[in-house]
Amino acid sequence: MLKDAIEAVLALQPAYTPHNTPAMQRRGRLIRQVMPGALLPAHAALAAALGPYGEDLRIEGRDGLGARTATPWVRFHSRARSPKARDGWYCVYLFAASGAGLYLSLAHGSTTYGPGGFRPRPPDEMARLRDRGRAALAPWIAAEPARVDTLVLGGTALGASYEQASVLALRYAAGAIPEDAALLDDAVRFAGHLRRIHAAEDAGAMDGR
């Protein structure tokens, strides 16, 4: 179950270390295998909500390359529109470093990769992307229940870059994770928001001025 996997990851967050300890190995399996597998029953519904952008729907989780990361994530996305997590728009579950909760976020890739590894995109670039995304979704953001506008992930500079990338998010508190049906309903709704972002891109509404 998705709820069980989420609760298990949250319980392991206080044991975070960049090293591949038994706790981090277990967290890695939950993030890379169990949570994506728990989202598979909603694959058809997510793809339908994405419309023409759901034909290449992918679900993946990551907890770090080499060293473990304080902010593991699981995302669903169009492979063509976001071939890597640092590129394009997607929906993503982001875990707070403390284990206090997680967010379902619609976000843009917030890092670049080069010598020295991943680096956050400049704040002004992220602000422009975030503003364009929110403008494209303005009518729906206003009606989105229980949304949050500010993510609090903690941990590292990488977590801070994820905070800056979010256009729209829901927070799930540890100890109050909804049942799978409600979690999947939220995911499908966010897939619909992602479709609107891609449609705005195709219409030129996301271009810079």
- Mean pLDDT across 90-104: 97
Q: What angle do CA 163, 70, 33 make, to 5 degrees?
A: 100
At residue 121, the pLDDT reads 86
Tokens of 123: 């704040």
Q: What angle do CA 41, 47, 48 make, to 5 degrees?
A: 105
Residue 155 or 38, more confident:
38
Classify residue 61: in a domain, yes or no. Answer: yes
Mean of per-residue pLDDT scores for the chain: 93
Classify residue 115: in a domain, yes or no. Answer: yes
At residue 208, the pLDDT reads 55
CATH number at 82 reads: 3.30.930
Number of domain units in the chain: 1
Classify residue 158: in a domain, yes or no. Answer: yes
| Long-range contacts, stretch 56-59, CB < 8 angstroms, 24+ apart | 56/80
Closest residue by Cα to residue 125 from 112, 140, 138: 112
Classify residue 132: in a domain, yes or no. Answer: yes
Classify residue 38: in a domain, yes or no. Answer: yes
Residue 41 or 112, more confident:
41
At residue 209, the pLDDT reads 41
Q: Is the pLDDT at 89 greater than 80, yes or no?
A: yes
Classify 201 as helix, strand or coil.
Answer: helix
Q: Is the pLDDT at 114 greater than 60, yes or no?
A: yes
Tokens of 54: 């759901």
Residue 40 or 208, more confident:
40
Can you tell me the distance from the alpha carbon of 103 to that of 84, in angstroms, rounded to the nearest whole number?
A: 20
User: Which residue do the tokens 């728990």 mark?
Assistant: 38
Domain of 38, in residue numbers: 2-202
CB-CB contact of 78 with 50 (8 Å) = yes
Classify residue 207: in a domain, yes or no. Answer: no
Classify residue 135: in a domain, yes or no. Answer: yes
- Distances from the Cα of 24 to the Cαs of 2, 113, 115, 162, in angstroms? 19, 24, 26, 21
Classify 57 as helix, strand or coil.
Answer: strand
Classify residue 147: in a domain, yes or no. Answer: yes
- Mean pLDDT across 75-86: 96
